[in-house]
Amino acid sequence: MNYRKALAATTAAAALTIGSAAVADTMTIGITQNNVGVDSYQTTYEKAFIEAAEANENVEAVVLDAGGDVARQIAQMEDLIQQEVDAIIIWPTNGEAVIPAVRKAHNAGIPVIVTNSNIAEQGFDFVASFSGPDNITQGKRSAEIMCDKFKDMGIADEAKVVHITGQPGYTTAIERAKGFDDRLPEVCPNVEQIDKQPGDWNREKSQKVMEAFLVKYDDIDGVYAGDDNMGVGALNAAKAAGREGIIFVGATNFAVGYEAMERGEYWGSIYQSPVDDAKAALKTAVETLEGKDLPFLNYFDTPKITQDNMGEYDKPVF
């Protein structure tokens, strides 16, 4: 049964039965994901989402995947609107191109929740709320991890850092880079960022970039990579070149990053769980439908993880 109609009906029928009666009705929540299967994060996310939806007996989920294709995602949005789902969760394939489809859902009275990576600002009017990691804070926290380590080592006044970013043009890449670039000079004003190049979220590409950095600079004390996959690529390059003592800090702790931390080769990262991400998206959608007053931006916490505190965290499954 359609949740919105149910809600309207219940409210009209009896002012005596307080809202909770409507909540007992099934709500249909559609999700169109970015590209399941392209990496382990997204694969784990989808599994966790389906599990969370099954665990909630009031939720019926329609799970779709756009396969990274903007056109397909827009078509899926239209399908979900046709099916009159109660809410739509979208993991945008592209922050700009999906806005018209989001607007269409909004105009049809279906609340849209954006998950993981936000759409562009001009579409905010059509979005009920965003749920995901705060990438600017992640970048800042990585800068703090790096700076704290330099202070421990006593090189906070002279250290030189290179920076490997995600794919140019991607919101997550831009935000993490911005957080790092802004925060590092605040906490460690004398640390110099000597170069910044994209590794495109790709381990092999990142390894190539790092190889060039190693040739170009004799002194590199720290490497910040936009995620652990690239961080490990950079680490591989440093190991192959026999350069030791470099501090590697990443983000989105992957299993390979966690293992490198266990071996003592990789200093720290940001712990971001796709399971938390998926659960937060579903929770945000459910609470929106329940009429709770939510902030526009709902961030789930992504704590710092380093060799010092990694025992508190399970090894990532992806």
Partner 1 sequence: MARLTKKDIGGFLARQGILVAFALFIIGFTIANERFLDPDNIMGVIRSSAILGVMALGVTFVVISGNLDLSVGSMMSFSTIVVLDLHDKIGPAMAIPAMFAMTLALGAFIGFLVAYLKLNSLIVTLGMLSAIHGLTLTYSGGKNMDIADKEGTWFSVFGQGDIMGISVPILIFLLLAAFLGVLLAKTPFGRKVYSVGGNGTAATFSGVRRARVVFSCYLISAFCVATAGLLQASRSLGSQNTVGQGLELEVLAAVILGGASLLGGSGTIFKTVIGVLILGFITNGLLLVGLEFYVQFVVTWVIIILAVWLDIAAKRGKLWSPIA
- Would you tell me which residues interact with partner 1 (CB under 8 A)? 36-40, 42-43, 168, 195, 197-198, 202-204, 207-209, 211-213, 215-216, 229, 232-233, 236, 240-241, 254-256, 259, 318
User: How far apart, in whole angstroms, are the C-alpha atoms of residue 101 and residue 200?
Assistant: 27
Q: How far is the CB of 166 from partner 1 (least distance, A)?
A: 12
> What is the total residue count of the chain?
318
Contact 284, 258 (CB under 8 A): no
Between 24 and 240, name the residue whose CB sits nearer to partner 1.
Answer: 240
CB of 183 to partner 1, least distance (A): 22
Bridge partners (DSSP) of residue 196 are 163
List the structure tokens of 156: 């906070």
Least spacing, CB of residue 203 vs partner 1, in Å = 6
Query: According to DSSP H, which parts of the chain are helical?
Result: 3-13, 20-23, 40-55, 70-82, 99-107, 135-153, 171-187, 203-216, 228-240, 255-262, 274-289
Rg of the chain over Cα atoms, rounded to whole angstroms, equals 22
Nearer to partner 1, 36 or 61 (CB): 36
Dihedrals phi, psi of 73, to nearest 5 degrees = -65, -40
Q: Given the complex with partner 1, which of 98 and 230 has the nearer CB atom?
A: 230
Instruction: Look up residue 243 and give its DSSP letter.
Output: -
CA of residue 117 relative to chain centroid, distance: 6
Q: How far is the CB of 248 from partner 1 (least distance, A)?
A: 15
CB of 254 to partner 1, least distance (A): 7
Given the complex with partner 1, which of 87 and 237 has the nearer CB atom? 237
Contact 247, 20 (CB under 8 A): no
Q: How far is the CB of 198 from partner 1 (least distance, A)?
A: 5
CB nearer partner 1, residue 13 or residue 38:
38
Nearer to partner 1, 182 or 204 (CB): 204
Contacts of 72 (CB under 8 A, 6+ apart): 66
Identity of the residue, 9 or 255, whose beta carbon is nearer to partner 1 in the bound complex: 255
Cα gap 290→303, rounded to integer Å:
29
The SS3 of residue 6 is helix
CB of 158 to partner 1, least distance (A): 21
